[in-house]
């Protein structure tokens, strides 16, 4: 599975403002997702919304690990204003 595959699956399933997936080996992923679908949802629910998209890939170990950063558009805008760019809020 590639980072593009991860991004495509997320953007197909959720209303996203920003999605980036990073990986050095295509089995361990760092994913940042900004979506209005997260408004009013706990972090646990937000992460479940993403990880549920990849149930089969976790089961067959196509994906070994996925670290998530999930943000609402409002929180993302506040972080961008604080840091001055998008890249400092990703896992990098």
Supply the CATH number for residue 36's domain: 3.30.300.90
Provide the pLDDT for residue 79.
87
In the predicted model, is pLDDT for residue 2 greater than 80?
Answer: yes
Q: What is the dihedral of CA 47, 50, 51, 56, to 10 degrees?
A: 170
Contacts 24+ apart (CB under 8 A), 49-55: 49/14, 50/10, 50/14, 53/9, 53/10, 53/13, 54/6, 54/9
Digit-coded pLDDT (tens) for 22-76: 999 999 999 999 999 999 999 999 999 999 999 999 999 999 999 999 999 999 9
Range of the domain at 35: 3-89
Provide the pLDDT for residue 81.
86
The count of domains in the chain is 1
- Please state the pTM of the whole predicted model: 0.90
Question: CA–CA separation, 42 vs 20, rounded Å?
Answer: 21
């Amino acid at each position: 599975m590639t980072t593009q595959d991860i991004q495509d699956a997320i953007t197909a399933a959720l209303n996203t403002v920003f999605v980036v997936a990073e990986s050095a080996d295509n089995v361990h992923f760092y994913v940042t997702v900004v979506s209005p679908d997260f408004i009013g949802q706990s972090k646990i629910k937000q992460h479940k919304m993403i990880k549920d998209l990849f149930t089969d890939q976790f089961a067959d170990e196509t994906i070994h690990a996925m670290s998530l950063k999930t943000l609402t558009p409002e929180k993302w805008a506040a972080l961008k204003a604080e840091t001055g760019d998008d890249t400092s809020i990703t896992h990098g």
